[in-house]
Structure 1
Amino acid sequence: MQQTHPTPNRHPNGRDDAAWLLLGLTGALIVPLQLVDPFAWSIPGLIAPCGFALLLGALAFLYARHRPDPKIFAMLTGLQGMLLFSAIGASLSYMIAARTGPLWDARLAEWDRAMGMDWPGWLHWMNAHPLFATALSLAYRTLIPQMIALILVLGLCGRLAALRIVMQAAMIAGLTIILLSGLMPAASTYVYYDLKPADFANLHPAAAFIHMPDFTGLRDGTLRVLALDRMAGLISFPSYHGALAVIFCWGFSRATVAAIRHAGMVIALLTLIATPVDGGHYFSDVIAGVLVAVISLAIARRTIHLTIRLRPAIRAGASLAPAT
């Protein structure tokens, strides 16, 4: 029987070319916004992310050219890509938030009610069950550790195609959500329902009001210096936390170690359940985030095979891994 082999442009472990293209596109969108109404960046806030990204890039080059190891290379580029996207995407989200129109909170709350979902009722139920709420809150706060753990787990397991799908899906979802947030800006459920901490004394939501000084400052023009080390999540609709929870759940489902697979999926699902209360999101935000995640995963399964004929040495390093 004749054996078939993957074509050079469709390696089973995928490539990082589309991820770099997405990063470039996200950065390019900042340029016209800067030309119209420029922002400045705080220098101290740039030092840590830029320095760490350069370190990861140097190590990735080492493990592509001088000590070829596809697993380490994929993990390093995955961490570097998500770090860079977080910095560039957060900057873009702030610049877009400064140019948005009327808030959509009333409409989003109406969508919730139309679907039979009672956000204030859910908040009060959670407040009456603080043990369950605490578990959800802890899961919500672990999103970045989840991302790091997932990249390392998939890399060490040799699931390099899944690692690249997760990374690129997170970028596709992030860019999509940032752009949609400019069309449908919203403050948060806590602001819309005029709640105060005393109204939910047993809860300690991670993102109830923390973003409001920046959100208000961007909209009234008083905030024009971006500090990457102090940025808050401004986006309500769709929920990026909800989208990442779905993407991470899919990623952990590809882990080869059963205990890690099940634990990771449970934590990701708890993060998704926690998002309405701990993130101050409408249920419609979360549902939209889930839909964006599903579509992004479907697209990423194809984009990891995209080849851009640049950086041949780095691309060669990504192709050294055996099929998994």
Structure 2
Amino acid sequence: MEQAHPIRNRHPDGQDDGGWLLLGLTLLLMLPLELFDPFSWSIHSLIKPCGFALLLGVIGRFYTRHRPDPKISAMVTGLQVMMLFSAAGASLSYMVAARGGAMWDRQLTLWDHAVGLDWLGWMHWVNAHPLFALTINLAYRTLIPQMIALILILGLCGRLAALRIVMQAAMIAGLTIILLSGLLPSAGTYSYYALNAADFPNLHPAAAFLHMADMTGLRDGTLRLLTLDRMEGIITFPSYHGALAVIFCWGFSRASIAPVRYAGMTIALLTLIATPVDGGHYFSDVIAGALIAAISLAVAHRTIHMTVRLRPARAASAVLAPAT
């Protein structure tokens, strides 16, 4: 008797079961945290993402059941799952940060020095080259447009397996990084070195100072109302920006149109280079994020072939058939 297998797949382009399972796992991890230290969510901030996700779900179902189009279905589902994961993951990161222990900034600085990397020296060099600083700053700010463009490009090129690998790797990396951030919390380089914008006048860091107000409120208990459209990236170690840059670079490398492939890879690599500067990350953060990205891509090659449900006919045969 043929048994259902969780990683047996009859679709060479993979499927989305693994992505939904990762989303469910993220929500499940929020439950015990919510029981011990409750948070609440701004209803107004939930309307747009939930409404858009519902609309994407309707479109995805139409192009799956009524007018089958694998490309549109994969693109729409990818956008839907990533939107929901972004909301759930951001919420989970805040809930984890509220329970963080002592800051690890000193240790992260020592790790940088141990491998011969000088964050302040790199900052002074970038500040002395304003055109380069502007270039990487612009790349850093395009992370969400990169994700959307990558989903559309891989979908339209018919690289559906690569599309699903990228999306599921981004979720695996995100969930891993959120959980590790609770064990190794840190304030970030700008806060640790007590810097302000005037110290590097040619730099305009996109996210170096934004997270500290929320981080402080989470740790002292004054912030327990989450507003999705106002949440900041509060994780320093490991760097999710760095992880996504590596994952997106891999994804763009699978595009079949050469100019698009090289342009996308270049922007993703510039985003990775920008992360210590514009995100206020230690080099250790970025290295750890890149390693997690590589592992997540390897795992996602398998999760896209994961089946977490049985077809009705096979489920019935599995139940009715005698044990062997």
Q: Could you tell me the TM-score, scaled by structure 2's length?
A: 0.93
State the alpha-carbon separation in 2 of the partners of residues 117 and 142 from structure 1: 26
The alignment-based identity, stated in percent, is 75
State the alpha-carbon separation in 1 of the partners of residues 92 and 271 from structure 2: 25
Amino acid at match of 2:156: L
Q: Are 1:18 and 2:18 matched, yes or no?
A: yes
State the alpha-carbon separation in 1 of the partners of residues 122 and 90 from structure 2: 29
Deviation digits for residues 22-62 of structure 1 (CA, Å, limit 9, x no counterpart): 00000000000010010000111111110110010010001
Listed as ranges, the gaps of 5+ residues in structure 1 are 1-6, 313-324
State the alpha-carbon separation in 2 of the partners of residues 92 and 191 from structure 1: 23
Name the structure 1 match of 2:238: 238
Q: Please give the residue correspondences for 1:8-157 in structure 2 after superposition, counting only pairs within 5 Å.
A: 9-157=9-157
Name the structure 1 match of 2:268: 268
Is the alpha carbon distance of 1:205 and 1:81 closer, same or farther for their aligned partners in structure 2, counting shifts above 3 Å?
same
Name the structure 1 match of 2:178: 178
Deviation for aligned residue 1:9: 2.1
Name the structure 1 match of 2:255: 255
CA contact (8 A) 2:14 2:305 kept: yes
The secondary structure found in structure 1 opposite 2:91 is helix
State the alpha-carbon separation in 2 of the partners of residues 154 and 61 from structure 1: 20
The secondary structure found in structure 1 opposite 2:162 is helix
Amino acid at match of 1:123: M
Deviation for aligned residue 1:72: 0.1
The secondary structure found in structure 2 opposite 1:248 is helix
State the alpha-carbon separation in 1 of the partners of residues 232 and 137 from structure 2: 17
Amino acid at match of 2:58: A
Q: How many residues align?
A: 306
Name the structure 2 match of 1:3: none
State the alpha-carbon separation in 1 of the partners of residues 144 and 199 from structure 2: 29
State the alpha-carbon separation in 1 of the partners of residues 247 and 121 from structure 2: 28
CA contact (8 A) 2:181 2:235 kept: yes
Flag as ranges the 4+ runs of structure 1 deviating above 4 A. none
Amino acid at match of 2:241: H
Q: Could you tell me the TM-score, scaled by structure 1's length?
A: 0.93
Q: Please give the residue correspondences for 1:209-248 in structure 2 after superposition, counting only pairs within 5 Å.
A: 209-248=209-248
Deviation digits for residues 155-210 of structure 1 (CA, Å, limit 9, x no counterpart): 00000000000000000000000000000000110000110111011110001111
State the alpha-carbon separation in 2 of the partners of residues 26 and 309 from structure 1: 19
Name the structure 2 match of 1:208: 208
